[in-house]
Structure 1
Amino acid sequence: MEDVHLVNLLCKLMEENITGVLRLQHGKTYVAQVCEFLGFNNPSRESEIRGEIKVVFSCDPNDSHLLVNLTLDKILRLQNEGPSTEEVLTILKTEQKEHDDALQDNEYWLAMILGSYRSRSYSGDVGASFEDDNEGRARARDNFTPAKAQSTLQRIIPFPCTKQYILAIQMPES
């Protein structure tokens, strides 16, 4: 479960970095989203976690290849150099705030109950599965350092990231 939460933290880190480049430095998009999908997993606790990470943004079609290259450059920098300590602390602070806010939301609790039933750690006890998830989150947060983020990015995304990716550009009709 720690890896699932670690991937979530890495997606937040990449989203923050990519949005910073595409929006703040280049002014080419308002927001970039980085999402993980781990639905390819076997229900076994021993099998490796499988999934995909998706980066999504909207832009002028004429800028699409520039923004894709800027995105890949940013991910490659994170793979090569890792994030700064400040970036890691910012992500941890943001994640904690989002988590605290979610605890007040009924939809969060519904998702947690359903997720506990579908969890790789479910063995007939939803409470135990929920606790396993919380422990995984705590371990991921405790171990989320610049070095851990860098090595995990190299492990979960083909290294270098320019080696293997799928690019889909939706073009508006003329």
Structure 2
Amino acid sequence: MSDSLGVVVLGLGIFLFVVMAVGLYIAPPSPATPQSPPNLGPPPLPDEVARPDVFEQLERLGEVDRITAAQDAKRRRWLRPLGFLTRLLTYAALFLLLYIWAPKDISNTPLATLTLSDIAGTVGFVVIGFLLIRALFSPSDDDQIKDAWGWLGVVLLGVIGAGALYLYNVR
């Protein structure tokens, strides 16, 4: 049992190394921002002159935005690497589950003896595999999703820590 588990973990490590190496070279190009048409007309005239307190309010809002941006950058310094590792380990676990629950090989089975569940299981296995590969190599560029992966990593570390404490106290 431990030999087969060791082979599976070693194979998973080699697979992750290959996936990360290939992912660095096959990264999809980021979509370019669309260009807005040039504004050729003169700017519209203001209806009335703005009062100075409006500018002061805008400056205060700008200060608040700078403070929240600095806090977000500080949080992302440790959250993003954790989110990256969490995303890779999650996909590794999903690929491992896909491998464990792979359907039987139908390549040498006569077509007349196949059932619909055999065919659907194989098609589902291939489709789920392609979707996992696509999700692995083209992650979202959205900052909220990257932060969500990081927070999932924090939650998983908490669950692993609580489980380790529980197992330590059970012995």
The TM-score with structure 1 as length reference comes to: 0.29
The TM-score with structure 2 as length reference comes to: 0.29
Structure number with the higher helix fraction is 2
Structure number with the higher strand fraction is 1
